[in-house]
Amino acid sequence: MARDNASFSQKRWSLTELFPEPDGPAMHGALEELEQRTAAFETLRPQLTPDLSPGTLLDMLLNIEAIALLSHRLYGYAGLMFAEDTQSQAVQGLVARMDQLEAQISNRILFFSLWWKSLDEENAARLMLYAGEFRYWLEEMRHFKPYTLSEVEEKVINLKDVTGVSAWHTLYDAITNRYAFKLKVDGRTQQLTRGEISVYFRHHDPDLRARAYRELYRVFAEDSTILGHVYQTLVRDWRNEQIDLRGFASPMSVRNLGNDIPDTVVDTLLDVCRQNAPLYQRFFRLKAAWLGVNRLRRYDVYAPVTKADKSYEFADAVDMVLDAFGGFDRQLADMARQVLQADHLDGQVRKGKRSGAFCWSVAPRLMPWVLVNYQGRPYDVSTLAHELGHAVHGIIASHHSILTHHAALPLAETASTFGEMLLVERLLGEESDPSVRHDMLFNQVDDTYATIQRQAFFALFERQAHDMVQQGSSVDDIATAYLDNLRSQFGDAVDVSEEFRWEWVSIPHIYHTPFYVYAYAFGQLLVLSLYRQYRKEGEAFKPRYLGILGAGGADSPAHILGAAGIDISQAEFWQGGFDVVREMIEQLEAIPVGNGE
């Protein structure tokens, strides 16, 4: 591919497409329009009767859509500004105001969803026939019917959440994003952000890896009392609201219903993951042999097996990702390129910037925004492919309404993970240096470990932690349970040292979105089996795959995948994903240890 991407430098993104500045005339205009539209919508309330006409319903839905577009725009702007600089007090103020506004607006239009959920089956079915694009959105809302409280109660919960869970989330982010980590590298002590110190987990020097991990958890452990307390509070809030008030069967069922995945499917998925613990243990033993040690330490899980210290310039990384996407389908590369051309990618590393990476599709017709902390490692290139994969998903589904645009969590990782697979395939295709090739093959299994097994065991831990908090367990008890979880995952193949007991307080997902993590395992196992089908079927596979992405969130995961010939209720389907991992491991076992060093 021609170097037409050379102009893509590593810079801060531009948010001007949302608003040119905070609190300027454009933002005030949007706030005003939001107020007017919401007020107008409120006047429609008397029309909500069981004999409502399909035309009136559609008008109302279009109104809700317009309100959602405006509020997502405002909220997205504040959120993206916060990610760009988590330490700015002005931005923190803006986020707080937008949180407040969002809660107020959803309270004012809440009567619609409450009415819709209370409507009798017959009339709901009658109206859904004409709902078109909005059908699944309406259908899904009714799933929550048995768990919905009165309007007054719902309003109180929304309002109290602003100074409750939302405030706890912001506090957790503010505390943990401020951390600075000290690490001696080449005789010089450096001050590092979390993103920067994490790079050393993949360093070839075993001592440096160990010191990086110890420093990370030293800092988190110092605040373990307060971070553990934040977690206990969030978990209690979750139970008080979801189980005691709403009547969900278990803390995880809440997420499952939100994902529209039956509890039994998630249980099957997690059982299959647990049963495959020996498979990864086998991989870690192989890795120990390659590293020349008797037993792997937890510090070595992501260690490179060779000293292929490859580093990639940002512009080259962009080229490789676009090229990999284009090798599958040209439109995928075009879409990813548009994100960069629109200046929607923040690739810099800056203190105070949010660590990690994400893609945020603010609205269907706006190019998604992507944040990465790019540092040139092969891992960073994969992350770039991952997040741009998300962006492509958002763009392919951009013909949907803002209400049905986003794929449910379990499908939300499809394009991102598939994008990573395409990248690896492309890199393996052109790499002739055996040492780099072996490193990449090992990396590929490392990645499946990080997305499948690690996340599945987080979910198993969360399930246990939610029960423990309810039984009044202390933060230390939870930490011990976490360590036990790790030791059952790694068996005798990996030596897990004590400081890893504090790993869980460093995982934002379990604070922000309980049980989110199993979606990663779901997505990766799904993609492994999809990728196998792609290899087998070639061109014929593409429309089925693009169909899954194009569906966005306009139908349930089971239907979207069912249409592509996949049955997620079967344990065999999930085991099929692990079989692909087993084949990768067998491929590695066939190489004489240390060959190519």
Residues that bind Zn ion (CB under 5 A): 416
| Cβ–Cβ under 8 Å, residues 369 and 13 | yes
Minimum CB separation of residue 289 from Zn ion in Å reads 32
Distance of alpha carbon 224 from alpha carbon 504, whole angstroms = 10
Sequence letter at residue 296 = L
CB of 35 to Zn ion, least distance (A): 35
State the nearest-atom distance from the C-beta of 415 to Zn ion, in Å.
Answer: 9
For residues 416 and 485, which CB has a smaller minimum distance to Zn ion in the complex? 416
Determine the Cα–Cα distance for residues 388 and 336; give it in Å rounded to an integer.
6
Q: Which pairs count as long-range contacts for 48-52, CB under 8 Å and 24+ apart, including other chains?
A: 48/111, 48/112, 48/115, 50/119, 50/120, 50/123, 51/123, 52/123, 52/127
Nearer to Zn ion, 34 or 407 (CB): 407
Separation CA 401–CA 396 (nearest Å) = 13
For the residues of 314-376, what is the DSSP string, one character each?
HHHHHHHHHHHHHHH-HHHHHHHHHHHHTT-EE----TTSPSS-EEE--STTSPPEEE----S
Sequence-ordered list of residues with C-beta below 8 angstroms from that of 94, at least 6 positions apart, any chain: 22, 23, 78, 81, 82
Minimum distance from residue 413 beta carbon to Zn ion (Å):
5
Q: How far is the CB of 409 from Zn ion (least distance, A)?
A: 10
Q: Which is nearer to Zn ion, 71 or 416 (CB)?
A: 416
- Of 424 and 479, CB closest to Zn ion: 424
Residue 73: CB minimum distance to Zn ion, A: 23
Toward Zn ion, which CB reaches closer, 398 or 416? Answer: 416
- Smallest CA-to-CA distance from 76 within 336, 359, 274 is with 359
Assess contact for 441 and 587: CB atoms under 8 A. Answer: yes
Closer Cβ to Zn ion, 169 or 393, answer by number: 393
| Helices and strands (H, E) in the chain, number of each type | 26, 7
Query: Encoding tokens for residue 450?
Result: 């990080």
Q: How far is the CB of 389 from Zn ion (least distance, A)?
A: 8
Residue number with CB closer to Zn ion (304 or 577): 577
Which secondary-structure segment (H or E) carries 191? strand 188-192
Q: Which is nearer to Zn ion, 99 or 446 (CB)?
A: 446
559: nearest Cα among 311, 283, 260, 244: 260
| Residues of the chain by 3-state class (helix, strand, coil), percent to 5 | 70, 5, 25
455 vs 489 by CB, closer to Zn ion:
455
CA-nearest of 508, 512, 519 to 416 is 519
CB of 451 to Zn ion, least distance (A): 9
Compute the least distance from the CB of residue 518 to Zn ion, in Å.
14
